[in-house]
Amino acid sequence: MDIKEVYKLMGVFEASNISELALELEGMKIALKKAAGEKEAGQKTAFAAVKVDEAQENATGTQSMKSVEQTENDGEILIKAPLVGTFYRAASPEETPFVVVGQQIKKGDVVGIIEAMKLMNEITAPEDGTVVAIEVKDGDMAAYDQVLIRLAAAGQK
């Protein structure tokens, strides 16, 4: 089981009515637990405990994470969520967003942040391009592989 499968499992767990899950596969142990009473209070899911013995190389610290797909239609580039978490358009509420619609960006520019398990994960542009659409609102939960931002490849609009 690789880290992408772990994040996908977390997304399925979050969407389910299960409050606790313990799993052991291929020498890896994972324990997920939702905060008590969160469904009744209407709060977003929080992972109260997560233990991963292996495959943590992409799950620790602030890091640059990429998930991208080039679509068939006119070279549009989709920047997708590489993990489940809360999407933020800026480093803090007082700061300006990393990107806005119509802005030209360069490969490696930070386009957003996903907070997962109290860790801030920078989402960077995989290529040069122009922001066509921002599909997730600031502070909303992003699902694994969900389209966050649409780019027009450099030289196209």
Listed in sequence order, the residues at least 6 apart from 19 whose beta carbon sits closer than 8 Å to its beta carbon are 33, 34, 36
Q: How many CB atoms lie within 10 A of CB 144?
A: 21
Q: pTM for this one?
A: 0.57
CB 77 within 8 A of CB 153: yes
Mean pLDDT of 62-80: 59
Per residue in 40-52, pLDDT (tens digit) is 444 443 332 333 3
Strand 119-124 relative to strand 63-65: parallel, antiparallel, unpaired? parallel
Per residue in 75-128, pLDDT (tens digit) is 789 999 998 999 999 998 899 999 999 999 999 999 999 998 888 899 999 999
